[in-house]
Each structure stands twice: as structure tokens, then as C-alpha cells.
Amino acid sequence: MKDWAEKLGIDTAYAFWKLTELNEQTAYRLWKDAEYIPRHKVMWRLYEVFGWQPGQYLYAQPEGKQQPEDKQQQQLEPEQQQKSPAKQQQGKKVKAKSI
């Protein structure tokens, strides 16, 4: 999460925590532990705040390989151009559906 948040100008775990309004321990763990997989409620909050879909920040990769920088940028660009879903809905509840 740290890499994603830094691209949006969030430069500290504290700022990430305050912006997301997640539990403090959860926010700091997301910031520090790249292998941590958040629970559904946390993923939903990340979607509300940033418009991030789980498939954008959760991915598998072979040991020792990093995702190419252009792939990371490609995934981030649409969110930078759009308003967050929370701002678009302006207080409307949206129900999540599982496939």
C-alpha cells in the first residue's frame, strides 16, 4: 500500500491512517507489510477512499521478481483521473456483490 499511497502524495503511515480512518494497527500494517492481505471491510474502505479495486493492489508474483514499473503506473493512472467512488456517491450506500 505504501507505494500506491505515495504515488497519490500520501507520504507517511500516519497520514494514510488518518485519511482512510481504518483501525490504527491495520493502517500501519498495510503501510509496512507488502505481503499483508486485508479483510473484506478494509478492501471496501480502500475502494471508498481511493477507488482502488483489490485486483489492482493484490497480485501474485514469483519469488524475487517485481512487478514492472509500467504495469504499476498503468494500474494507477485511471484512479488519479477519477474522483473516488465515495465522492461520486456523496453519502449514498453502495452494496458490494460477490461473484
pLDDT digit string (tens) for the chain, length 99 residues = 888 899 999 999 999 999 999 999 999 999 999 889 999 999 999 999 999 888 888 877 777 666 655 555 555 554 444 455 555 544 444 444 444
> Domain tally for the chain?
1
Cβ neighbour number for residue 31 with a 10 Å cutoff: 20
Domain assignment present for 94:
no
Domain assignment present for 98:
no
Handedness of CA 21, 31, 79, 11 (dihedral sign): positive
Domain assignment present for 24:
yes
Q: Which residues contact 80 (CB under 8 A, 6 or more apart)?
A: 7, 8
Cβ neighbour number for residue 13 with a 10 Å cutoff: 18
Q: Where in the sequence is the domain holding 77, given as residue range(s)?
A: 2-89
Domain assignment present for 95:
no
pTM over 0.75: no
- What one-character DSSP code corresponds to residue 33? -
